Amino acid sequence: MDWYQEAFSRNTAIQDHLKGLLAIPSVYDPGTAAPGRPMGQGIARALAYMLDLCEAEGFRVRNLDGYVGYAEYGPEDAEHYVAVLSHLDVVPVSGEWVTPPFEPDVRDGKIFARGAVDDKGPAMASFYALKIVKDLGLPLRHRIRLIFGTDEEKTHRCMEKYKELEPMPVFGFTPDADFPIVSSEKGQINARILFSSEEEGQGGEGDYELLSFRSGVVANMVPEAAQAAVAGEPEALQTLEQAYQAYCSANRFKGGTESDGGTLMLHMAGKAAHGMEPHLGTNAGLRLVHFLKDFSWNRGAGHYLRTVDTLLHDDVHGRALGVAMEDDISGKLTVNSGLLQYDPQGDTFFHINLRFPICGDADDILRKLEEKLHAYGLTIEPPSLKKPHHVPGDHPMIQAMQAVYEAETGERAELLSTGGGTYAAHFPMGVAFGPLFPGMESTAHQPNEHMDIELLLRCTAMYARTLAELGNLEM
């Protein structure tokens, strides 16, 4: 069987249907949330689009109150089902795009749009993979279920709803990471670290007043932009502006200033990256904090700037926070501070997106964090937690997927670990499988996100062959 040829023969249809899905701005929108569309109108439209496509193909479909939907193919009386879990929500748009992010554009053999690789392209590849299995009339021992989530980029409420209403799959995969097979995922701790109003009010009269500081859009991205508003005497502001320009020039940073009466606005640019790989990005907020910390501030601004710099600057592995660790399976602990805010009239905080290896224990890490933060007068809000996840390499599903990958690529199917939090961790025997092959750079969460058309077809072929194998795997 030439699985790639099967995918290639459907190339035009795959692209057309993917463009339709990518044109839907499926960003979480509480302003349009309602019964039946808990994540907002855009996400509800994306879910309806995929379920309509599956129903037209003859798959059995169900929408679980707008939280999650699924489409199923295979013998209805089969005891077990194999799951493919993808998500239809996307992160908010940021940065400069060559073409509008929700007007999909094909150029240079790539399809550009928000969600192209994370995770709408892989979701469409999975749909066409199951369609190939159906079109070829291949026999199945188990049911195959395509599950479409709607809240992967935030809290995974969709999967909690699914687990509440549906039986668990016998095993499955999510096309939302890397090839060959991601069998381990780090645990996560997500929380805001708050500065008390008493601390903000401390400090004498300095040369400058920090009116506001903002950096970041979402917690699981390295912020690519930061802004600070500073008040002071004209001569002091001029000194600060000149020093900032020299700082940017000396370090080849992209920064700028704007003056408005007695206020100076400082802008800093960084490089966006996924929060699971903070070392691949440049945190604009921490870069700006590092410059501001040494100046003379009134009220609590100095405490905020110096504390953030001490605990986070140039340290993505949690050494200053006292939580650094690593193991051979999943690597080093990482910390991303995707949101930083100083607001004398509101909340002053930084957010941590901490991802810890299999060897770590969330309670122990939190205890160490609280001890460290208490020394700086800080408190940690009740965090959201995710346990580490691991599927052993001798599981029959793993071995079957390794055989498929090696047959399709001629390369060895090594088992991988990720700092990402995928849907795979919601099920005991879940792994991540693609869509990126070794050496490929991900543009997920970044401006001009895209997926190679060739990659889209290769994934479709890989998933079709995998579903044919898993759908008949003996238990």
- CA neighbor of 122 nearest in space, from 173, 70, 175, 84: 175
Distance of CA 100 to the CA centre of its chain: 21
User: Rounded to whole angstroms, how far apart are CA atoms 364 and 302?
Assistant: 30
Residue with token string 């025997």 = 429
What Rg, from alpha-carbon coordinates, does the chain have? 24
| Per-residue CA distances from 1 to 5, 127, 329, 467 (Å) | 9, 19, 35, 14
| Residues recorded for the chain | 475
Q: Which helix (H) or strand (E) holds 333?
A: none
Reply yes or no on whether 135 is catalytic: no
Burial call 126-162: b when 16+ CB within 10 Å, e when fewer: bbbbbbbbbeeeeebbbbbbbbbbbbbbbebbbbebb
* CB contact set of 29 (below 8 Å; sequence gap of 6+): 39, 40, 41, 42, 43
Contact of 424 with 434, CB cutoff 8 Å = no
The active-site residue out of 152, 199, 224, 309 is 152
Best CA proximity match to 415, nearest among 429, 394, 386:
394
Catalytic residue among 89, 118, 178, 185: 89
Q: Report the C-alpha gap between 429 and 201 in whole angstroms.
A: 51
Q: What is the DSSP letter of 101?
A: T
Q: Decide: 362 and 385 in contact? Cβ < 8 Å.
A: yes
DSSP state, residue 282? B
Closest among 440, 395, 438 to 413, alpha carbons compared:
438
- DSSP letters of 309-373? HHHHTT-SS-TTTT---EETTTEE-EEE---EEE-TTS--EEEEEEEE-TT--HHHHHHHHHHHH
Q: Which two tokens stand for residue 295?
A: 């100046």
Environment class of 58 (CB within 10 Å of its CB; exposed 0-12, middle 13-18, buried 19+):
exposed
Three-state DSSP at 7 gives helix
DSSP 170: S
Is 89 a catalytic site residue? yes
Active-site annotation, residues: 89, 152
